[in-house]
Structure formats: structure tokens, C-alpha cells
Amino acid sequence: MADVKAGLGLRRAISGALKAIAPGDVDFMEVAPENWMHLGGRLRKDFDYFADRYPIYLHGLSLNIGGVAPLDRELLLSIREFMRDYQCPLYTEHLTYCADEGQLYDLMPIPFTEAAVRHVSDRVKEVQDVLGQQIALENASYYAAPGQEMSESDFIRAVLESADCKLLLDVNNIYVNSINHRYDPLVFMDALPLERACYLHIAGHYEEAEDLRVDTHGADVIEPVWALLDAAYDRLGVLPTLVERDFNFPPMAELLGEVARVRAAQRRVQAPVEATP
């Protein structure tokens, strides 16, 4: 039986408040390695403080897994060293691209095509060879699908199976995309390679219009997204789950309340099994 594990993103804006939380309030923390790898002084001491107390999961922002430029070998080697130094159990990235002769500072959709499947899976294999372990790719939010030849779920499945990597299931992204692209989120979830899921994200978003949601990680998680998390646990069982919050931080008690709600949802799934003789 999997352990109940609910985590929170380590962000500099809330690092002081996070130092004051009680042991056991969160089970792990997640960071973007690019934001912490080459720091010294006070910021490195802050990071070491948390790394001494919590498992650190890594969620990359700039590997550019779907791009055409060669993979940044120096970045990959730095990530590998960082993972070894801090014994990070997991490295994940977005199934997107984020560079075109320079950093775009956004996560752009990869065309859902057979050619893109081959291209991306080859790059994932290269990353896994360097890191010496499987990585997980996140189903991304997107607002247009240029050159689409296959469905989003078929594209994700094909990439993960070809590359033999894991799935980071982002529940909020499923909800956002289901509104923006008008599909049933549960049907979409069931079409994903859920057998490859190893980790979950849940977050808030911005309601731009009735038919448009923007993935921001800057708001509270809404009830339909909590319901999707329950549906994910019903299908997957309990997996480590991160509450993502990047800005507009509420009081720490409210953030910890969302972490506690993740734990409660995980225990709900465990309870019937544990009650069986």
C-alpha cells in the first residue's frame, strides 16, 4: 500500500513561512532545479535547510524537451549532479517546448504529430541516458494545437510508450484543457496511459471567460478540480501529489489546508482497502 504523500512547492517568497511549519505538515517539497542549482550564500543555506528536512522532487522548466535545438548538455549534467547531491527521487519536465534560438519563457504546445512523437521520444531517451533513470512528463495546458494530426491523449501515450518514461498527471491541466477545448475530462483521463503515472499535480487557475481558463497556479483549487483528483485516485490509487502555487500566496494556514485536503482524499482511497481483513 502506497504511503500518503502530499507536498508543496518551495518558492522563495514563502521560504520564511515554510520554516515555521510543523514537522509533518508536508511530506515533500518540489523545486525547479534551474532556480536553485548554482546559488550560494543565504539562498543556498535556505535550500539546504529544507533539503535536510524533506525529500526534494525536481520539476524542470527549461529543458526544452520538444524543441529543435540540441539538448543543453551542461544543464543536464548540472541536474544530474544536483539530483545526486540532494538524493532527489524524481525529475519531471513539461511535454512542451520553451526555446527557439533563445529562451521563450513560456511553455509552448508541441504539434500532435507522428513526426513529433519520434522527435520528442528520442530526446527523452537522451535525457534518461544522461540522468541514469526514467523521468516523468507532464500533460501540459495549451490554448492552440497547430498542425494537429492526432488527439492529445494519443500523442501523450505515443511519446511515453516510445520513450519508456513516466507520466506526471496534472489534474488542473486536464480541467483547464477540457474547458478550453471542450471535451469530457474523465473520458480524456481514461484515454491516458495511467499505468505510467507516478506523480500528480493539483493547482488553481484563472477564469478569463466562461469558455476560457488560464493555467496560472495563482489561485485556490476549485471544487471541480478536487473532484477530478478524487477520480484520479479512484483509477490510480494513492500517488505523491503536489499542491502547486507560484504567486498570490494566501496565508500559510490556507496552503496547508489544501495539502491536508490532498491527504484526506488519499486516505479515503486507502480506507476501504485497509478495512478489508
pLDDT in tens, 94-129: 988 654 554 444 566 778 999 999 999 999 999 999
What is the number of alpha carbons within 13 Å of residue 62 lying toward its C-beta? 16
Q: Stretch 187-197: mean pLDDT, rounded? A: 98
Superfamily of domain 6-275: Divalent-metal-dependent TIM barrel enzymes (3.20.20.150)
Angle at which helices 114-131 and 152-163 pack, to 10 degrees? 40
Q: Which set of grid coordinates corresponds to residue 140?
A: 501540459
Higher pLDDT: 145 or 76? It is: 76
Question: Taking Cα atoms as reference points, which of 215, 111, 106 lies closest to residue 158?
Answer: 111
Q: From residue 196, how far is each of 66, 76, 184 by CA, in Å?
A: 20, 23, 21
Confidence of residue 146 (pLDDT cuts 50, 70, 90): confident
Candidates 70, 65, 158, 165; CA nearest to 120 is: 65
Q: For residues 9 and 200, what is the distance between their CA atoms, to the nearest angstrom?
A: 13
| Percent of the chain whose pLDDT exceeds 90 | 75
The model's pLDDT over 215-258, given as tens digits with 9 standing for 90+, comes to 888 899 999 999 999 999 999 999 999 999 999 999 999 999 99
Backbone angles phi, psi at 6, to 5 degrees: -130, 130
Q: Please tell me whether residue 163 adopts helix, strand or coil conformation.
A: helix
Let me know: does 199 contact 240? Beta carbons within 8 Å.
Answer: yes
Residue 151's pLDDT is what?
Answer: 93
Which amino acid, residue 218? G
- Residue 106 is predicted with a pLDDT of 54
Distance CA 36, CA 38 (A): 6
Angstrom distance (rounded) from CA 236 to CA 234: 6
The domain ranges of the chain are 6-275
The pLDDT of residue 273 is: 54
| Three cell numbers written together for 134 | 526514467
SS3 assignment, position 216? coil
Tell me the average pLDDT of the chain.
91
Instruction: Say how far apart CA 51 and CA 130 lie, in whole Å.
Output: 23
